[in-house]
Structure 1
């Protein structure tokens, strides 16, 4: 065979020293997606059903394109497995385990993305990962996280809109996220938060900055602009829509028009932002010039590192399997143990048309009580064998949902409940029925607290932490939400006294009922 016909590693195509590592990376990624397929399919389902996170469908193809355009630069690097990356993957696996134990989709999906990203340095090494720093970081835009910002964004939108209306000379009466002007009633709901605009802007803005700038300062500045512009633009959008409705007698900028005008305004603002940003674009680096390996990378195949990687990604599933078999699967039977104390008697619930919006509890107790002229309602939502569809702490579990047309939460804060074992901090909310400003609107004062692993906690985060610890210790995931409420009659202070009297007298019976249910 002549020399001209002999195979050569310099021939066009995949370099020889990349073939085995790249095959191992593909196998690792496929194994991750198969092992964590429930988490992966949950992410895809959110992309498909949510307008806010629909961009997630485009993130993986964009990442692959960003990697492909650097293929000539990567050819000069020498892939080598990294033990430190495997250690970091262990942390991501632990995060996935904790998220799965308490059914926090955001945690499991973030952890899966971390595992996918860290698989690159684990198999190919840190030099390759650093060369692909932005594409790997861009993967995190696929994680559907952001709903936690919605209440704050809604509050800011309402604050700005009301202030702008008053500056414009229009009188406004506001309660919570609802307000009244002479021409009608308006509410700031989820669609008004601007979360869709913000996430879309930051995602596209980060990609634009990476492709158009080389300076880290310019990139960071443009990303900051892509955060601020949609927030302010959403405030202006809300104000303009209210003004259009006001001056048109509510014939335009309502219903579907509301959304159409909003997206049109947002599209114009974002196009202007990119047009201005393009004026300071910098030349792109030459993607045909290969990078060179530094630090004496050897390209050695390290079976021990890959074996450790396999154990790391498998371990959480073994723990989940073992805990699932120890979980009490019996449907809980919830009932108040004994009779009410200190003169309280069973009675009809006050405001029977209202109920806390906690989704899919395993068991519920909802009843009323009265002492003299002091009525109280008690709601307990009990959760066992929690999963994505049935869990205690969730963004969809609220005293009143934003979409509720009959009730609204018009005030929120904290209070101290005199529980028999000592004072317990609780969430306090003021709820209002009917329309804003209605003189005869029914108002309720509600206290809410979580019962997790025998502890009373107020924080969503602490409820999740105690739930995860309870499962890890083999005690199951039984937990509950306890809500007591009473009508606000003459004053909120008297309503607080009524709730305090009921909790002090009957808190022990409530806890005993929860403990009894847990043991069944």
Structure 2
């Protein structure tokens, strides 16, 4: 057999140019979006929750390699519809990059990589690779938005289980006290990393073990439910072990080790049980040489179409960078001089704020912390955090911007919610929370604060993270720059009143302050921005 025939048997001729075009397009995407790629890899390397991202691309390539004989028998045929979808993914990336949303840009990057396949090879080939391509989305480090819910559910279950076990519990927020000591549900206790690991492994196992869609969906559902319940049981058992051992066991680092051991055992049992219903593997496809005849008639016209498809796709994926350069022209680069809101009668400025607490907002360009007193001696603090020239480290809306970090030793957030007020004559919804000073212990009569938080962006106030991001993008697109601020007002709760009455009284104080000072706050922000 000649070398030419042997090469044709190993690798169909009608695949050579399309595959080369696809590889070059994928490399171009990775190069053009290099800072997004670096951002993903950085998160993989620093977070145990998303460390599996390193192996996801490798698994995807291996999954595609497993079906290479099936793919070789198909004839690549570029899809114009995929070009339109590629344009949508590029626009999605641009919108996310304008407001520095890692989850959006990284999700868009994977969408670009996946859509490059039908853009060059066609939908029939993309369909044949549906699961491997879909599995690539597990590389996106997304899921932190579920963290507060997982922490709350874990605390709910643990406290309920302790009470059912006959142990008295006093709970406030994510912290609770039992007779043997105090416990707190922190990020490591949320179970989010167990959930993400379980779903990733579960989807891969279901794909490799079952051919029935029903079986696959059932197993994936089990992979979602098992880590959720397992983490609740883990948290309960750790508290019980600590309680029964006089806090000598399952405290500190070792309770995390116990958690991973418990989770590992649960996952192994889940996979062992799932394997009992595994389907027989499908018979292997024919050799690569069988594809030669399928592509013989397409060789003449495929080269031109494939080259055109790759060029069009490359222009599409490069377009957001040109637009971004144009939009950057509207961003202000001058230093920020934060204007102080003037006190409006009957409110007056105080020499100092009513508390030393400050929000845990990261890397602003300017901040101010002022105190005010009302006509009846009410004390209100105003904290303004200002952002300009935002990027992925310094940005207005971020999961790192919190009223109180979870491991704060002095302050803890014990409740959350929302409230509606009047600001500059317009109804505005604000995020509300109650904070407690932890210096004297969980049950001590220490200082508590009622806190309201609202974003100011694109000359609008909103409490919504999503709306703040959208307004930020609109501000950039319309050439208004990326200036924005977080406005926080707070007042101490009256320790002489019941919890409910104290919060109601504090809400009335903040309502009155916003109605009187809202216009001055807005005017100061506009002055800082330089807007007319």
Q: TM-score, normalised by structure 1?
A: 0.96
Task: Name the one with the larger helix percent.
Answer: 2
Aligned to 1:314: 318
The 5 A counterparts of 1:190-209 are: 190-209=187-206
Aligned to 2:331: 327
For residues 18-45 of structure 1, the C-alpha deviation after alignment (integer angstroms, 9 at most, x for no partner) is: 0000000110010000000000010001
- Cα separation, 1, equivalents of 2:257 and 2:442: 30
The 5 A counterparts of 1:371-520 are: 371=374, 372-434=376-438, 437-489=442-494, 490=497, 491-519=502-530
Q: Once the 2 structures are TM-superposed, how far is the Cα of residue 497 of structure 1 from its aligned partner? A: 1.6
SS of structure 1 residue aligned to 2:5: coil
Q: 2:90 aligns with which of 90, 93, 104?
A: 93
Structure 1: runs of 5 or more not aligned: none
Structure 2: runs of 5 or more not aligned: none
Q: Is the 8 A contact 2:79 2:119 kept in 1?
A: yes
Q: Once the 2 structures are TM-superposed, how far is the Cα of residue 306 of structure 1 from its aligned partner? A: 2.8
- Cα separation, 1, equivalents of 2:233 and 2:2: 69
For residues 408-455 of structure 1, the C-alpha deviation after alignment (integer angstroms, 9 at most, x for no partner) is: 111111112222312211111110111553332210000111111110
For residues 163-210 of structure 1, the C-alpha deviation after alignment (integer angstroms, 9 at most, x for no partner) is: 000000000111111111111111111111100000000001111111
- Cα separation, 2, equivalents of 1:44 and 1:257: 28
- Cα separation, 1, equivalents of 2:40 and 2:397: 19
Q: Once the 2 structures are TM-superposed, how far is the Cα of residue 8 of structure 1 from its aligned partner? A: 2.6
- Cα separation, 2, equivalents of 1:103 and 1:505: 34
- Higher mean displacement: 438-447 or 157-166: 438-447
Aligned to 1:67: 64
The 5 A counterparts of 1:195-274 are: 195-274=192-271
Q: TM-score, normalised by structure 2?
A: 0.94
State the aligned residue count: 515
Q: Once the 2 structures are TM-superposed, how far is the Cα of residue 300 of structure 1 from its aligned partner? A: 5.4
Change (3 A) 1:458 1:37: same
For residues 31-79 of structure 1, the C-alpha deviation after alignment (integer angstroms, 9 at most, x for no partner) is: 0000000000100010011000000000011111111111111111111
Aligned to 2:110: 113
Aligned to 2:355: 351
- Cα separation, 2, equivalents of 1:260 and 1:213: 33
Q: 1:187 aligns with which of 175, 178, 184?
A: 184
For residues 68-102 of structure 1, the C-alpha deviation after alignment (integer angstroms, 9 at most, x for no partner) is: 11111111111121111111011100110000000
Q: Is the 8 A contact 1:141 1:203 kept in 2?
A: yes
Task: Please provide the CA RMSD for this pair.
Answer: 1.7
SS of structure 1 residue aligned to 2:48: coil
The 5 A counterparts of 1:5-16 are: 5=2, 7-8=4-5, 11-16=8-13
Change (3 A) 1:287 1:384: farther
SS of structure 2 residue aligned to 1:241: helix
Change (3 A) 1:6 1:28: closer
